[in-house]
Chain A
Amino acid sequence: MLTFSIILAETSRSLIYLQTLIDASLYPEQVYYLRNNTSLPKMGQYGYGSVAENSDECVRSYLNIKQINYKQYDHDQLLGDEFQAALSACASNVIIFSGYGGIILPKQFFQCKKVFLHAHGGILPEYKGSTTNYYSLLSENVIGASTIIMTEDLDTGPILNVVSVKNPTKRDELDHSLDAQLRAESLVKTISDGKISGENQPLNENSHYFVIHPVLKHISILQVS
């Protein structure tokens, strides 16, 4: 098992990561909590408000209940020296990054000599990009999540673990809870396995996907296998 720390955001995804890791008795050495002090969208803000609207309170409450210490930063400190120094001084070599949707890890993070883990929503290396689980549902009736080591290029780092579910139920919950649960499961397996090396993914332009059109998203949810 790896020792690790985690960067969390005010999102329901971060909350699910935290809960799933703790349920598996995997406690982070250090938690860096990024407060949303800008207009960044919270996960699930579109159409799933009831789950996400109090994620700030939920994440912090959960940390308090579990008596896990955390350092709080504003999101716009992400690029600042203070946060960089804190990460460099972190006791863990491995740090899980769970930031806000659409926010990628700033390049200077890679100077911290840490291994940053990201759980991608989709099966790698076949499905890089955005909303890929809807594409894999249409093509193969399968969804998944992959833990990778983050590199400066998006979704191209070594793959450490892939989990998948064939013919999933509750597809209409994929955007929010189901996707996050799969990602969390993949992270748990990675941390439990304790292996943080792998080969870089092959470069394949054919496997990069852009946000799926809502018509196809609806068909992927409504399809009867």
Chain B
Amino acid sequence: MIYSLSENLEYGSRQTYEYHPYLGPNFLQDFFESRSNFLNQCNPEMCISSFDELATSLSKMYCEENNSGSVLVVLIKIIKELNQGFLTENNRLLIKAFIKKFEVSRKIYSIYDADLKPDKFSNFSDEKNYGLLSIILNKMYQKEKNFQFLSTSLKINDVIVSNNMELNRSNFAGTICAMAVNYEMTAVRNLCEKKNVDV
């Protein structure tokens, strides 16, 4: 087992990706195996099959949420926009800001103030926020083919998979996280195919 990047990563813990050595094609095979193991433990009845279904489910479940500092509310708004085929400039900037926040701290807090400083009383262990941001970044990658989006999505999913044992796969958070990993695996598989990389 070469793929160890999703081991022992509690929410907010620091995984260093710098100077990761090249380990040959087996590294990719082990990556897929690790992610498949995660998905095999998910409840298939809780599966969300499309982005449209996700946007609809989120609208129904969180229609009352209106806290402007809530990351969950912002992410749901972005998903709705993307599902309707557009993205406001403000939300594009927010996606960039969330990438930077996660890349620097490996955390996504539940609440940020207007200057995007985390609310010190909020937590950073809401799986939904990690899963939804990962899905958004994957969607952005598909749309713009900017590999930064896919790279950060992969890192977020390392955190999700690492928290394997704590994640309840029968609840909505678990379903979102499974969708995030599913999306990512499809994107990576398609990329391998496009680049003639045999996995």
A-to-B contact residues, CB < 8 Å: 41, 45-48, 102, 130-131, 135, 138-139, 172, 175, 205-206, 209-219, 221-224
B residues near A (Cβ < 8 Å) are: 5, 17-23, 25, 27-28, 31, 96, 99-100, 103, 145-148, 150-152, 154-155, 188, 191-192, 195-197
- What total count of A-B pairs have CB within 8 Å? 84
Given A139-B147, A206-B146, A210-B148, A219 contacting B197 (CB threshold 8 A) = yes
Q: Tell me the smallest distance from the CB of A90 to a CB of chain B, in Å.
A: 32
* C-alpha spacing A209/B146, complex, angstroms: 10
Partner of B19, one of A135, A172, A175, A223: A175
User: What is the distance, in angstroms, from A82's C-beta to the closest C-beta of chain B?
Assistant: 31
Contact between A213 and B197, CB atoms less than 8 A apart: no
Task: Enumerate chain B residues within 8 angstroms of A224, measured Cβ to Cβ.
Answer: 195-197
* A218 B23 Cβ-Cβ under 8 A: yes
A46–B18 alpha-carbon span in the complex (Å): 9
Q: How far is the CA of A48 from the CA of B20 in the complex (A)?
A: 11
B99 surroundings in chain A (CB, below 8 A): 210
A138 and B147 within 8 A (CB): yes
Contacting pair B22 A221 (CB below 8 A): yes
Assuming the contacts A210-B99, A214-B17, asked whether A222 and B197 have C-beta atoms less than 8 A apart, the reply is yes
* B154 & A216 in contact (Cβ 8 Å cutoff): yes
In the complex, the answer to whether B151 meets A216 with C-beta atoms within 8 Å is yes
Complex Cα gap A217–B27 (Å) = 11
Q: Is the CB of A219 within 8 A of B151?
A: no
Interface centre among B147, B188, B192 (most CB of A within 10 A): B147
